Chains A and B, each alone.
Chain A
Amino acid sequence: MPPRRQPPPASGPWGPRPAVLLLAPLLLLTQQGVAAAPVGAEGPEDSPGLQDAEFPSGLLQQAARAALHFFNFRAGSPSALRVLAAVLEGRATVNPKKGCQVDLVFTTDHYNPEVGEEHLGKCSARVFFRNQKPRPAINVTCTRLIEKNKRQEEDYLLYKHMKQLKTPLDVTSIPDSHGHIDPSLRPIWDLAFLGSSYVMWEKTTQFLHYYMAQISSVNQWKTNDDTIDFDYTVLLHEFSTQEIIPCRIHLGWYPGKPLKVKYHCQELQTPEEASGTEEGSAVAPTELNNF
């Protein structure tokens, strides 16, 4: 929420300085208000109260991102991917021994910028970050923007398009250095993002989050029994280390069916450990575990 402000006064010989002084206490209060409200200073019973120092910056954003990655993976639909628009409200409860729980409401936008939709979706989520451990537990519901049938139809169109691509694909990186994605290859990007969503969800912690920076190679693209079999290497941008993490992802997709994902990420920060890698796999959208 931006701080409320008064319009600047007409210039006088003293300039705007007096107005700034008058505004200063107001802005200070408003800022503190903004900081307090999402944090839930009124405090649920089990919370010892939040200290600023324990609270990583942008925890609400963090939770929203993780929730969205999970939502996108679970929806399994490359034509209906969502991105974060804004966090509307949220509260966090810290249990120093276990982790922290964030309840929040946020708006979403359509992932594909070319699509002229103005619809903002809305989601509410409960995200539990286990202390220093990845794979936050997530419970998320979003307003339905596209009817299920329509979504499946779009997915099926994408699928047909993918089946028509000539293999082997003559492509090094997507996008190229100038950010260009050939329209015929756009479905590949969307499907790669879908697979990456699973990986990014699993890797997210209170302090680390990810974006998909680039598909650095397409290792395999084929159709097995109608399922799109896609083996690729994606570069994930890791905040706040700024590292670029290469992840090899192998996914299987068919419209309307659960996404199958296997992956293997390289953690370059511990080169001496051969076991500094992460693997994971998912076969079906998991039922949400109670936490």
Chain B
Amino acid sequence: MKPLLGTLYLLGILVPEGLGYDGSLAQTRRGILEETVSPWRSLDTYSYTKYHPMEEIYQWMVQITEKYPGVVTQHFLGMTYETRPMYYLKISQPSANHKKIIWMDCGIHAREWIAPAFCQWFVKEILQNYKDNPRIGRLLRNLDFYVLPVLNIDGYVYTWTTDRLWRKSRSSHNNGTCFGTDLNRNFNVAWCSIGASKDCHELTFCGTGPVSEPETKAVSSFVESQKESIVCFLTMHSYGQLILTPYGYTKNKSSNHEELIQVGQKAANALKKKHGTNYRVGSSADILYTTSGSSRDWARDIGIPFSYTFELRDNGTYGFILPASQIQATCEETMEAVLSVLDDVYEKYWDSNSAVKMTSRAMVLGLLVSFRSVF
């Protein structure tokens, strides 16, 4: 009886997957969402403490660009597998200064809903406060923010329509017998060497080749083209309450590992002050598990110095299905952590007392001075 039950169960899962539609057979396992999307027109009534479906996020991006003209612009990054447009928001104050770029992406894994919620919160906080808040105002003087609120759009849509716990993209493989690549195993860094799978059924499937997926291609081409200006690459995930530094593909450490840990630990401390939440800081291979092809490792290896993965709340109690009632607290504390990182990045490149930007010669002199003071 039990093996038969097992086979029937498997059929119930594999058949709808294979046909690429989601009938009621999938319901037992997947929990089809019957949420109705509430009609909302104005940005003033947009709730940042609720989870929003993709249509609403698209609408929100347009409206936020309209509300803050001259500071926010919306840009096309590329198309997803299911031909949805990928947009990022550029937050930039017009200035004669040459700006450095902070990149933030959310939702590379579809089921991690708190991440896109944070990206939206972050944008809102910057825009609502840059005029009155000197901390944020100063950041915008020399930094531009590029925010991609949802990277894995197809997957995110799928978590709303069909399977709340979907992780990968929705590309089709093996003659439509399996779907989705783990986009965070698809970047061109030690691709598929460890902690990833070449089996398209698995949730850490690395794709058919490095950067095989349109979403990965869109992000890497763009980031690569801007890499001279990007000083900070933040990729937001859940869950686990971690601030992860490179690398996942090796236990070796990046050249600036100590600095990344120091900055990360400071951010974790700032986060904890807000609501008491504990975050751990460390390299991905040390405190999580080995992975290859991650966006964070790739970004570090093309030369972006401050590259972090944030794994947001919680610690496993609700996991991916974090209650909406926790969005506010999570976003508030994460904001403190991100601002802390940005402050450190800012102070590294732009001193607040003088307008002197750090040059390599100045760095060398600084090294000589510090060695002299030690010995």
Contact = CB atoms under 8 A, between A and B. Distances in A.
B203 A177 contact: no
Given A11-B352, A15-B358, A20 B262 contact: yes
Interface string B286-307: 1111100000000000000000
Interface string A239-256: 111111010000000000
Given A178-B323, A241-B203, A20 B259 contact: yes
B54 to A, nearest CB: 14
B77 interface: no
Interface stretch (A36-44, A160-168, A273-281): A273-281
A179 to B, nearest CB: 3
Contact of B367 (A16, A21, A113, A243): A21
Interface in A156-194: 172-173, 175-181
A116 interface: no
A217 interface: yes
Nearest to B27: A172
Contact of A242 (B10, B204, B347, B354): B204
A58 B202 contact: no
Contacts of B363: 14, 17
Contact of B285 (A57, A84, A177, A274): A57
Contact of A16 (B30, B265, B348, B365): B348
Interface string B162-202: 00110100000000000000100000000000010000011
B365 A14 contact: yes
B6 A179 contact: no
Given A23-B262, A177-B35, A240 B289 contact: yes
B136 to A, nearest CB: 19
Interface in A261-291: 264, 266, 268-269, 271, 274-277, 279
A237 interface: yes
B321 A175 contact: yes
A214 interface: yes
B199 to A, nearest CB: 8
B316 A52 contact: no
A269 B6 contact: no
Contacts of B182: 242
B76 interface: no
B247 to A, nearest CB: 12
Interface string A54-84: 0011100000000000000000000000011
A169 B251 CA distance: 50
A211 B356 contact: no
Number of contact residues on B: which range applies?
35 or more
A36 to B, nearest CB: 13
B51 A178 contact: yes
A135 to B, nearest CB: 20
Interface in B39-56: 50-51
Contacts of B371: 21
Contacts of B262: 3, 5, 20, 23, 27
A28 interface: yes
Contact of A237 (B5, B204, B258, B320): B320
Interface residues of A, number: 64
Given A57-B285, A179-B324, A214 B31 contact: yes
A277 B289 contact: no
Given A5-B262, A11-B351, A31-B261, A177 B289 contact: no
Given A15-B351, A58-B288, A274 B3 contact: yes
A216 B202 contact: no
A291 to B, nearest CB: 26
B319 A211 contact: yes
B98 interface: no
A235 interface: yes
Contact of A2 (B281, B286, B365): B281
Nearest to A264: B2
Interface in B127-151: none
B331 to A, nearest CB: 14
A85 B285 CA distance: 21
B25 interface: no
A83 B261 contact: no
Nearest to A242: B203
Contacts of A111: 317
Interface string B8-26: 0110011000000000000
A266 B9 contact: yes
A86 B278 CA distance: 9
A235 B29 contact: yes
Interface of A: 2-3, 5, 11, 13-24, 27-28, 31, 52, 56-58, 83-86, 111, 113, 172-173, 175-181, 211-214, 216-217, 233, 235, 237, 239-244, 246, 264, 266, 268-269, 271, 274-277, 279
Please list the 7 inter-chain residue pairs (A to B) with the smallest Cβ-Cβ separation, ordered nearest first. A18-B370, A179-B323, A14-B366, A173-B31, A211-B316, A242-B203, A240-B289
Interface of B: 2-3, 5-7, 9-10, 13-14, 27-33, 35, 50-51, 159-160, 164-165, 167, 182, 195, 201-204, 251, 258-259, 261-262, 265-266, 268-269, 278, 281, 285-290, 315-326, 347-348, 351-354, 356, 358, 362-363, 365-367, 369-371, 373-374
